[in-house]
């Protein structure tokens, strides 16, 4: 007997839980998004911490608030909220970090 294959879209809660799990596993990630302030598509290096969150705007757009890094020297730029997101690329460290060694 062939079982019915369910191709249901995940709920927002299921989607955000999966995405948060992936963010926590990543060392850092890049968000490519449209910046309304500069009217351009930009890429920002970010990382996830305990204050970061994923939520829906009043217009039902996905928003991600996380720690954004300066693109030139990778210093912390502060918390930023991203909407109009095109792509998110996560990266895991290839070697142990000094945090894990000490």
Query: What does the domain layout of the chain look like in residue ranges?
Result: 29-93
Write b or e for each residue in 75-92: b if 16 or more Cβ atoms lie within 10 A of its Cβ, otherwise e: eeeeeeebeeeeebebee
User: What are 6-41's pLDDT values in tens digits?
Assistant: 567 889 999 999 999 999 999 999 999 999 999 999
- Does residue 32 contact residue 43 with C-beta atoms inside 8 Å? yes
- Does residue 29 contact residue 92 with C-beta atoms inside 8 Å? no
Lowest-confidence pick of 7-16, 36-45, 47-56, 70-79 = 7-16
Lowest-confidence pick of 35-39, 41-45, 95-99 = 95-99
């Amino acid at each position: 007997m062939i079982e019915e294959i369910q191709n249901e879209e995940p709920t927002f809660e299921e989607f955000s839980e999966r995405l948060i799990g992936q963010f926590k596993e990543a060392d850092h990630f890049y968000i490519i998004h449209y910046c309304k302030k500069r009217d351009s598509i930009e890429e920002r290096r970010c990382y996830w911490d305990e204050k970061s969150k994923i939520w829906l705007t009043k217009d039902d757009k996905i928003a991600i608030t996380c720690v954004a890094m300066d693109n030139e020297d990778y210093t912390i730029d502060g918390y930023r909220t991203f909407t109009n997101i095109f792509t998110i690329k996560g990266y895991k460290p290839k070697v142990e970090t000094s945090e894990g060694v000490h």
